[in-house]
């Protein structure tokens, strides 16, 4: 029966041990002949088992390796989520602080929450999970040093390194391209710097980690401290930009109030136009609940639930009043309104459009507190 390479390797090890040659010397000789450490030590294990007539006990198990794979996957997935979110927050703020005038696009203040709420939420959730799982992995490695050489750890760590290297190469190419095209603005430089710091920090950490053979508590604490400070600073910037949840709720309520008042105005005016077209006599409604096409939510304050103030002033004039949390600003959005009617001229619904009506903004300026608007048909 033909002997395999592994059989020949085991036989060679048995001969050198019988001749009194040290195992360390045998390992070096085999390495010089191109044998990998993995095959050498596997052959040594077989040789020892033959000598002792007893199998070497195996500490690791399939369950243990599956747990390692699970922890490393969770660690790298949450790493990708929180690092992307951290960078995204800075990209949005850079766009807001230093708008790219050449592209003619800026982020209005009132739209910041739409851009920042998701990455802030992702950062708040993903980063603590990453830190917890990474700490658990470090504890396991300190108790099981052989975990440093497992295939699961090596493969997943090198995959993370490939991702960060690709990101850094992309950053370098984009930077050079912008330089060659004359687009190297402060805005672009800051974007590239954020990407370099985030990806570079991750790359340096895992490059050192994949080469390590023992846990270095001091290094782990240093990286954890730097990452935590970066995340806290980023969250502080993000929360400052969008305001507290309570403040955002009140500002959203102001937008809803303006929308409701616009819907009431359009419903009244649309009714007047329809009645005229059908040669019917039109009168201003006595109360808001009489207006066609509006629901109870459209005629009441979104916070208090009380109906907006409405009063007929005589003739075709009427007054609408609401209590606002904040004063009207350049970022206050006044929506366009759509009115739907049936074939008989009855108004079915009155709803705000997704697009702002810039022509009507000056007609709805208001201060803090109770503000009234006089309108006429």
Distance, CA of 238 to CA of 335 (rounded, Å): 27
Bridge partners of 319, per DSSP, are: 311, 374
Assign 130 a pLDDT band (cuts: 50, 70, 90): very high
Distance, CA of 125 to CA of 82 (rounded, Å): 8
Statement to judge: residues 233 and 353 lie in one domain: no
pTM score > 0.85 for this model? no
Statement to judge: residues 86 and 234 lie in one domain: yes
Q: What is the mean pLDDT of residues 318-330?
A: 85
Statement to judge: residues 174 and 262 lie in one domain: no
Using the predicted structure, report yes or no on whether residue 62 has a pLDDT greater than 60. Answer: no
Q: What is the mean pLDDT of residues 89-113?
A: 79
Please tell me the total number of residues recorded for the chain in this structure.
Answer: 377
- Report pLDDT for 340: 84
Strands (E), the chain: 309-314, 317-324, 335-341, 347-356, 369-376
Q: Which of 217, 243, 269 is the last residue of a domain?
A: 243
Give the max Cα distance, the chain: 119
Going by the DSSP 8-state scheme, the letter that residue 158 receives in this structure is H
Residues 334 and 364: beta-carbon distance below 8 Å: yes
Q: What is the mean pLDDT of residues 337-362?
A: 74
Assign 118 a pLDDT band (cuts: 50, 70, 90): very high
Distance, CA of 257 to CA of 301 (rounded, Å): 6
135-183: pLDDT as tens digits: 999 988 888 777 787 778 888 899 889 989 998 898 889 888 888 887 7
Domain that holds residue 23: 5-52
Q: What is the mean pLDDT of residues 99-113?
A: 72
Q: 91-95, 101-105, 200-204: which has the minimum mean pLDDT?
A: 101-105
Retrieve residue 248's tokens.
């955002």
Distance, CA of 21 to CA of 26 (rounded, Å): 7
- Give the highest mean pLDDT range of 105-119, 274-288, 341-355: 274-288
223-264: pLDDT as tens digits: 999 999 999 999 999 988 887 777 778 888 888 898 899 999
Distance, CA of 231 to CA of 228 (rounded, Å): 5
Give domain status of residue 98, yes or no. Answer: yes
Distance, CA of 256 to CA of 194 (rounded, Å): 37
Statement to judge: residues 193 and 287 lie in one domain: no
CA distances 337 to 156, 315, 328, Å, are 54, 25, 19
Statement to judge: residues 230 and 255 lie in one domain: no
CA angle 301, 306, 309 (to 5 degrees): 85
Percent of the chain whose predicted confidence (pLDDT) is above 70? 91
- Report pLDDT for 282: 87
Give domain status of residue 231, yes or no. Answer: yes
Using the predicted structure, report yes or no on whether residue 30 has a pLDDT greater than 80. Answer: yes
Q: What is the mean pLDDT of residues 314-324?
A: 92
Statement to judge: residues 138 and 255 lie in one domain: no
Looking at per-residue pLDDT, the higher value among 120 and 18 belongs to: 120
Assign 98 a pLDDT band (cuts: 50, 70, 90): confident
Using the predicted structure, report yes or no on whether residue 2 has a pLDDT greater than 70. Answer: no
Using the predicted structure, report yes or no on whether residue 131 has a pLDDT greater than 70. Answer: yes
- Report pLDDT for 355: 65
Q: Which of 191, 215, 243 is the last residue of a domain?
A: 243
- Report pLDDT for 356: 66
End-to-end C-alpha distance for the chain, whole angstroms:
105
Statement to judge: residues 86 and 186 lie in one domain: yes
Statement to judge: residues 296 and 280 lie in one domain: yes
Statement to judge: residues 85 and 207 lie in one domain: yes
Using the predicted structure, report yes or no on whether residue 60 has a pLDDT greater than 60. Answer: no
- Report pLDDT for 76: 93
In the predicted model, what is the mean pLDDT of the chain? 85
Looking at per-residue pLDDT, the higher value among 268 and 146 belongs to: 268
Give domain status of residue 325, yes or no. Answer: yes
Statement to judge: residues 229 and 253 lie in one domain: no
Looking at per-residue pLDDT, the higher value among 187 and 356 belongs to: 187
CA angle 360, 361, 362 (to 5 degrees): 95
Give domain status of residue 275, yes or no. Answer: yes
Looking at per-residue pLDDT, the higher value among 341 and 76 belongs to: 76
Statement to judge: residues 85 and 233 lie in one domain: yes
Statement to judge: residues 136 and 229 lie in one domain: yes
Locus of tokens 């690092």? 83
Q: Which of 208, 243, 278 is the last residue of a domain?
A: 243
Percent of the chain whose predicted confidence (pLDDT) is above 90? 35
In the chain, how many domains are there? 3
Residues 369 and 322: beta-carbon distance below 8 Å: no
């Amino acid at each position: 029966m033909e002997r395999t390479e592994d059989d020949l390797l085991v036989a060679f090890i048995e001969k050198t041990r019988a001749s009194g040659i040290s195992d360390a010397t045998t390992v070096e000789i085999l390495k010089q002949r191109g044998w990998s450490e993995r095959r050498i030590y596997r052959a040594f294990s077989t040789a020892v088992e033959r000598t002792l007539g007893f199998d070497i006990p195996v500490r690791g198990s399939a369950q243990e390796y599956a747990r390692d794979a699970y922890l490393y996957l969770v660690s790298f997935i949450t790493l990708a989520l929180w690092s992307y979110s951290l960078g995204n927050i800075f990209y949005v703020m850079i766009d807001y602080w230093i708008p790219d005038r050449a592209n003619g696009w800026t982020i209005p203040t009132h739209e910041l929450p739409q851009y920042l709420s998701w990455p802030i939420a992702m950062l708040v959730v993903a980063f603590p999970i990453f830190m917890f799982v990474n700490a658990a992995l470090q504890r396991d490695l300190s108790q099981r040093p052989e975990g440093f050489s497992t295939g699961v750890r090596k493969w997943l760590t090198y995959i993370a390194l490939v991702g960060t290297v690709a990101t850094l190469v992309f950053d370098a190419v984009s930077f050079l391209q912008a330089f060659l095209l004359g687009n190297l603005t402060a805005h672009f430089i800051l974007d590239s710097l954020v990407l370099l710091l985030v990806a570079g920090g991750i790359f340096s950490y895992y490059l050192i980690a994949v080469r390590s053979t023992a846990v270095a508590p001091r290094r782990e604490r240093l990286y954890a401290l730097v990452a935590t400070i970066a995340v806290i600073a980023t969250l502080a910037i993000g929360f400052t930009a969008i305001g507290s949840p309570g403040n955002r709720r009140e500002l959203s309520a102001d937008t809803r109030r303006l929308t409701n008042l616009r819907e009431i105005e359009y419903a009244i005016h649309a009714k007047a136009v329809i009645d005229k077209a059908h040669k019917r006599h039109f009168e201003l409604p006595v109360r808001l609940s009489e207006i066609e096409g509006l629901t109870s939510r459209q005629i009441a304050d979104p916070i208090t639930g009380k109906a907006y103030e409405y009063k007929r002033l005589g003739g075709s004039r009427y007054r609408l009043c609401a209590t606002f949390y904040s004063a009207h600003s350049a970022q206050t959005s006044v929506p366009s309104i759509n009115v739907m009617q049936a074939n008989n001229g009855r108004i079915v619904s009155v709803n705000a459009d997704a697009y702002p009506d810039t022509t009507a903004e000056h007609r709805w300026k208001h201060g803090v507190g109770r503000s009234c608007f006089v309108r006429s048909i």
